[in-house]
Homo-oligomer: A and B are copies of this chain.
Amino acid sequence: MSIFEPSVVQAGTLQVMAELPTLEWITDSRVERLSQDFYWFSPILKRQLEGLRADAVVRPKTEDQIRAVVAACARLGLPITVRGSGTGNYGQCMPLHGGVILDLSAYNQLLWCKPGVARAQAGIRMMEMDRQTQPQGWELRCVPSTFRSATLGGLYGGGFGGVGSINHGPLASTGNVLGVRAMSIEPEPRVVELRAPEALLLHHVYGTNGLVLELEVGLAPAHPWLEAIVCFDNFDAAIEFGDALASAQGLVKKSVTLLAAPIPDLLMQAVPPLAGVMQTGSHAVFVLVAEFGEPGFQQLVAEFGGQVTLRKTAGEVKSSNRTIVEYTWNHTTLHAMKADKALTYIQSGFQAGRHVAQAKELRALLGDEVLVHLEFIRTKEGAMNCSGLQLVRYTSDERLNQIMQIHREHGVYIANPHVYIVEDGKQGQVNPDVVATKLRFDPQGLLNPGKLRGWEQREQIMADAAAGKVSLATLPSF
């Protein structure tokens, strides 16, 4: 029997609600949606996680309200699952043992913006944050294609990088996250500011080792971004163009996405505004380049023999309220799955420098079964590389795993999006620092219990640390 007995959790949740009647509680049919994310991108997760549901969702507006919920849950030993807008896709914010969902989307103020840095509450939507900072000439360094609804805390908790990582690398690159304010899950919650590098101890573990209240992040200059789609008959020309454009340091850009055939056809079929904007059967490169960089961009297009089939100025993008960003990253997956329900996807990281050769090799090997979607980004170490969000024609779990294994055997890292345990998506590696941080911030193990396998090894990890076998990051005092 689980230590989280459903009936006990349910009763406890009702008790917390009764204790805190002035908070915004949701218990109606919306709970189901608020217990989910885009886990259904994976046929495996769809099977495993379908039907998971919290007992209630609470949407606090202030730190005091958050503290009150956390204190009450901790006192009663109830599971808490933190979420932003639920745009992630590993079942990241789906409660394995019910309890309370702490929806931070109403805790969403921009606290301040200075040149190059801003601080906001975790629940701020990234589009809203950009809207507030852009008039000062600054914007977020890295946003997901879901920036319209996704929250900053959600990106930190469950994201890796995104649009803009072509300049600044993943979120974890030094300088991108300067600090976070985190709360412990205890009957008397405590709060501490973690500055970088410790500010990254709660990053990309889906809110399982602490509760992030505020984030201080680096900003990038907000340029007027020209949006363009460049079509190629030839895959090699398309990827080489993408790589050259991505690497050209004199060309100021925000993203370069390669969608190999037949992805452009799928998008044109699924997304009415894209109908006819690409050549049928072509390989497309989606580009955001600074308007003042257009001459150099056009020079590279000519050099590689591409054809610009869509071109929108920053003004046109703004007035249309439609951006090609929303067809890249996992929006590509979303739209392609609309056109073909049998598709799923994988996530991969190539080897910087070998990335183009690896991508060509794997495409030749896997043919029509894997549809190549690459996003060019800089690595943490500053080298040009690409991340793959390849679409896969799903036939069986075995074949899907085999395809991932083939990538690994060719030196390509797989961030497996078909597993819901944090470590399973990261080649199974337990991070002792993550576990030690959870011991500090969530000593009772209430944050979405069951997601972090390393938690089961906490005693061993702390014993190893005491014996000097493992060196752990030093956390500041509360």
A296 neighbours in B (Cβ, 8 Å) = 174-175, 178, 196, 218
Of the listed residues A115, A167, A250, A353, the one surrounded by the most CB atoms of chain B closer than 10 A to its CB is A250
- Please tell me if the beta carbons of A293 and B116 are within 8 angstroms of each other in the complex: yes
- Please tell me if the beta carbons of B116 and A252 are within 8 angstroms of each other in the complex: yes
Stretch at the interface among A152-160, A319-327, A375-383, A428-436: A375-383
Query: Interface code A355-386, partner B: CB below 8 Å = 1, 0 otherwise?
Result: 00000000000000000000000100111100
- Please tell me if the beta carbons of A218 and B178 are within 8 angstroms of each other in the complex: no
Known: A174-B299, A196-B299, A221-B221. A167 touches B249 (CB 8 A): yes
**Shortest CB distance A222–B (Å):** 10
**Shortest CB distance A381–B (Å):** 5
- Please tell me if the beta carbons of B168 and A249 are within 8 angstroms of each other in the complex: yes
Is residue A141 within 8 Å, beta carbon to beta carbon, of the partner chain? yes
Interface size class of A (residues with CB under 8 A): 35 or more
- Please tell me if the beta carbons of B383 and A248 are within 8 angstroms of each other in the complex: no
A218 neighbours in B (Cβ, 8 Å) = 250, 252, 292-293, 296
- Please tell me if the beta carbons of A378 and B249 are within 8 angstroms of each other in the complex: yes
Report the Cα distance A246→B250, complex, angstroms.
Answer: 17
**Shortest CB distance A156–B (Å):** 14
Selected A-B contacts with CB under 8 Å, 22 pairs: A116-B223, A116-B290, A116-B291, A116-B293, A137-B137, A141-B250, A169-B249, A173-B249, A174-B248, A174-B251, A175-B248, A176-B250, A178-B295, A197-B299, A218-B252, A218-B296, A247-B381, A247-B383, A248-B382, A249-B378, A249-B382, A383-B384
Which residues on A are within 8 Å of B, measured CB to CB? 114-117, 137, 141, 167-169, 173-176, 178, 195-197, 218, 221, 223-224, 244, 246-252, 290-293, 295-296, 299-300, 353, 378, 381-384
Q: Which 8 A-B pairs have the closest CB atoms?
A: A116-B292, A175-B250, A247-B382, A175-B296, A173-B250, A176-B250, A175-B251, A169-B249
Q: With A173-B248, A218-B250 given, can you name 11 additional A-B contacts, CB distance below 8 Å?
A: A116-B292, A137-B137, A141-B250, A168-B249, A173-B249, A174-B300, A175-B248, A196-B299, A247-B382, A247-B383, A383-B384
